[in-house]
Amino acid sequence: MSLVWLSHVLGSGTPLYAGANDIKINLQKSIDKGDSCNTSILSLPSHSGTHVDAPFHFLPDGKRISDFEPEEWVFQYPKVLNMPAIPGQLIRPTDIQEVVSKEDNVDLVLLKTGFERKRQEEIYWKEGPGLSSSLAGHLKECFPNLRAVGVDFLSISSLTNREEGRSSHRSFLELGILIFEDLSLCCLDQVGHLSMVIALPLRFTGGDGAPCSVVGWVKEQ
């Protein structure tokens, strides 16, 4: 058994939706400048880097980050779907019907498109793939115990089709399916079977979403 990171490291160069540049990480105290310790001040949007969308993000009465119990961030039956995607593509039920069949235990679906290879390019935030609103219900039919979906691109709402993206967010969140965005799934090419995932968000009052540290447990093949 080995552990792998499924989340990116946050930094000032982390890509944000619509090309925003809102992450600021500044040194507050510095030993090199004579201070007793090193400390930093962080300023960032709640949907920065690898993060989770809580229901409250699109549903006024939806659960917030702080409303979830610890066990709700543990996924013991993850499933990885290899789904190559092109810029601006909306992934629809017809795109995945050949790679999925009904499985009652699956609680987390990770859509691995390979688009994270473009993460340092403008195209990553400008023409990323997205998920169609119809995909939420289809995945729930295939995986009745599904509690979350994750993608290796910036947002399930493609900037090239924002209205569909808004509808897609609502469709997933209304079904009680959390959304993990900007995941790092490239390491799953070289490892064995992903057997468990733990995603720990930054817990803060009223959280509509939050950056996450995500770890996967892998059984060697």
Reported as a single tens digit per residue, the pLDDT across 13-37 is 999 999 999 999 999 999 999 999 9
H-helix or E-strand containing 136?
Answer: helix 134-142
Lowest mean pLDDT across 21-35, 36-50, 146-160, 183-197: 183-197
- Domain range for 73: 2-9+46-219
Residue 37 belongs to some domain of the structure: no
Angle at 133 between CA 129 and CA 137, to 5 degrees: 125
- Render pLDDT for 151-170 as a digit per residue (tens, 0 to 9): 999 999 999 999 999 999 99
From CA 45, how far away is CA 47, in angstroms rounded? 5
pLDDT of residue 192: 65
Number of helices (H) and strands (E), helices first, in the chain?
4, 13
Is residue 36, in this structure, part of any structural domain at all? no
pTM recorded for the entire structure? 0.95
In the chain, how many domains are there?
Answer: 1
Question: What single letter denotes the amino acid at residue 27?
Answer: L
Does residue 153 form part of some domain?
Answer: yes
180: domain CATH number is: 3.50.30.50
For residue 111, the tally of other CB atoms under 10 A from its CB is: 26
